[in-house]
Structure 1
């Protein structure tokens, strides 16, 4: 069968290759791959910035954002042939640490976890794959066209859960939310904010293309100025770009008692001048919280399923701006000005 692969640590190694069918010991459920979404993580792995092949393999199958259809499932598993499923990306470390043992593998403490298509496990950009039932989340058939958005939705589902938990430390009645970045994660973060009944402001540099319309049709407010210049003071801020200057704004432009969640991963090696004393004074006197969030556990996948189920299906469909057949994978990685989410189509749902 065909799979999209790279050789970890080797640039320009991206290729479509024939590989063996998934071994039975990879999981008791056989899944037909339907699609994978592409994101910056895939680009960085292709660029040999990181990525780790499974033990005994010289290559890594790409793809962590995924959707598939069950071909075979064991009796008593609550799964049946024909079910739509998404594979959970991160798997707990084998020790396990206390967090992984508690099912909170997104908070792994020793770094021994594995991740499909990223670290130590083959990804989902292949015609068939296997997983155990507990590593799969079932989707309603109505989400067949947009279920590939589930994994990025889990990232912001976790972020919002953590915001709610932190807010519960004291009086918490958020009214205004800011999201920086109108990429897929930012738009999905805004979706969950609107679903919570908040006034949502989304900041991005793009002035044309689909992003402004997607934000407006969500019922949120689109900005092309900076958060500083806008004067918006939010109770909740979600940073989804990783751009250092934007991160600083998110950390310094919140309202009293604001909670800021950082989800964008920044590049390193560049310096930015900042008045740390002023930032500290504002955070302390304003009872503000800044925290980072990455990955998701099963609870967040289940929350994301509910969020997508409540969303307007046509709006979700507009996030997917290009679908590229697996055989033409090279075209998928050629950036188009109008791209929001690009999907590699392995098979029609």
Structure 2
């Protein structure tokens, strides 16, 4: 089989390798890899900025946004040959910490978790892979073309869960949400907002193109003006922040409705300085009972919620989010961003 691998910590080492077909150990599923999504984390690993190879090895198989079809399911696994599946990214730490012991490995307290395609476990960018049934999630067969969107959907399923959990501290009846950033995370966050029956607004820098069209097709409202002006007029009850841009983050936080909730999902680039009035920001957060929360990764509950959300979505709309499909052999093309990209996918089979 062919697999896309990299030497973590060393830029320019991504390459295709011929590897022996994996032999599933007792109880594992053998899965034919169909596609993987390419995201910023993958690009950082390839650039040598991030990632850890499995113990005793110097190369890591990439890919955490998976999609595959079961080639062999062992008896008693609750899976069947031909099932469409994704593999969960994170695994709990071996101690385990209190969070991991309770199934919340996305909230690991000691950092000893592992992650497929990122940290100490080979990923899914291979024509065949194996996975434990407890860390595989079945998808509706009609999602065969778009199921690779599952992992980013888990991220926003968790973000919405966090917002709802915080909102439940008091009377909570959100009406309007602002999503900042119209990449895959932002658009999928908007999808879940629409499914909740909310008045959804999406803000990004571009004025035309597939992002604008996708927002309109979803039934949400698109904006491309300054964040403080847009958010100031909207006064959103919830902000899902998906850019990681410092000025966007702080302008969004400063312009929510009273006891507004801002959930940060975008990871900022360090080293960029920004002047803010910290006293005024603190005063507003305190006096309006606002909440700012960070959210990353997902546990099994979020995967199941994401699978349900995708199953309810319009597949034609989901297809809009995949703007390029690149064969595995041409993986370098997938790593170069194009202006109209939303989600770039590597096809494996």
What range is the shorter-chain TM-score in?
Answer: over 0.9
- Matched-pair contact (CA < 8 Å) for 1:106–1:296: yes
Are residue 107 (structure 1) and residue 107 (structure 2) matched? Answer: yes
Q: Hey, what's the Cα distance between the residues in 1 that align with 2:27 and 2:221?
A: 45
- Matched-pair contact (CA < 8 Å) for 1:27–1:131: no
Q: Hey, what's the Cα distance between the residues in 1 that align with 2:270 and 2:26?
A: 36
Which segments of 5 or more consecutive residues in structure 2 lack a partner in the other structure? Answer: none
Q: Counterpart of 1:256 in 2: which secondary structure?
A: coil
How many residues align? The count is 347
Task: Measure how far apart 1:22 and its partner are.
Answer: 2.2
- Matched-pair contact (CA < 8 Å) for 1:70–1:81: yes
Cα deviation 1:1-53 (Å, max 9, x = unaligned): 11001101111111111122224349611111000000111111111111000
2:281 aligned to which of 267, 279, 285: 279
Cα deviation 1:133-156 (Å, max 9, x = unaligned): 001000111111110000000000
Q: Hey, what's the Cα distance between the residues in 1 that align with 2:131 and 2:103?
A: 17
1:191 alignment counterpart = 191
Task: Measure how far apart 1:195 and its partner are.
Answer: 0.7
Q: Counterpart of 1:57 in 2: which secondary structure?
A: coil
Q: Counterpart of 2:237 in 1: which secondary structure?
A: strand
Q: Counterpart of 2:298 in 1: which secondary structure?
A: coil
Q: Hey, what's the Cα distance between the residues in 1 that align with 2:286 and 2:188?
A: 30
Q: Hey, what's the Cα distance between the residues in 2 that align with 1:139 and 1:24?
A: 21
Structure 1 runs of 4+ off > 2 angstroms?
20-27
Task: Measure how far apart 1:307 and its partner are.
Answer: 0.6
Are residue 301 (structure 1) and residue 308 (structure 2) matched? Answer: no
1:244 aligned to which of 237, 243, 246: 246
- Matched-pair contact (CA < 8 Å) for 2:4–2:126: yes
1:56 alignment counterpart = 56
1:154 alignment counterpart = 154
Q: Hey, what's the Cα distance between the residues in 2 that align with 1:135 and 1:193?
A: 27
Cα deviation 1:235-293 (Å, max 9, x = unaligned): 00010010111111121111101011000000101211011110111011101000000
Q: Hey, what's the Cα distance between the residues in 2 that align with 1:111 and 1:30?
A: 29
- Matched-pair contact (CA < 8 Å) for 1:320–1:342: yes
Q: Hey, what's the Cα distance between the residues in 1 that align with 2:44 and 2:135?
A: 25
Q: Once structures 1 and 2 are overlaid, which stretch shifts more, 107-116 or 333-342? A: 333-342
Distance 1:239 1:310, change over 3 A: same
- Using structure 2 for the length normalisation, give the TM-score: 0.98
Which segments of 5 or more consecutive residues in structure 1 lack a partner in the other structure? Answer: none
1:71 alignment counterpart = 71
2:337 alignment counterpart = 335
Are residue 212 (structure 1) and residue 212 (structure 2) matched? Answer: yes
Q: Hey, what's the Cα distance between the residues in 2 that align with 1:43 and 1:325?
A: 17
- Matched-pair contact (CA < 8 Å) for 1:159–1:261: yes
Q: Hey, what's the Cα distance between the residues in 1 that align with 2:26 and 2:59?
A: 16
Q: Hey, what's the Cα distance between the residues in 1 that align with 2:171 and 2:24?
A: 51
Q: Hey, what's the Cα distance between the residues in 2 that align with 1:160 and 1:270?
A: 28
Q: Hey, what's the Cα distance between the residues in 2 that align with 1:89 and 1:194?
A: 26
- Matched-pair contact (CA < 8 Å) for 1:257–1:287: yes
- Matched-pair contact (CA < 8 Å) for 2:55–2:120: yes
- Matched-pair contact (CA < 8 Å) for 2:27–2:74: no
1:163 alignment counterpart = 163
1:2 alignment counterpart = 2
Cα deviation 1:292-329 (Å, max 9, x = unaligned): 00000000000001111111110001100111111111
- Matched-pair contact (CA < 8 Å) for 2:27–2:77: no
1:323 alignment counterpart = 325
- Matched-pair contact (CA < 8 Å) for 1:88–1:137: yes
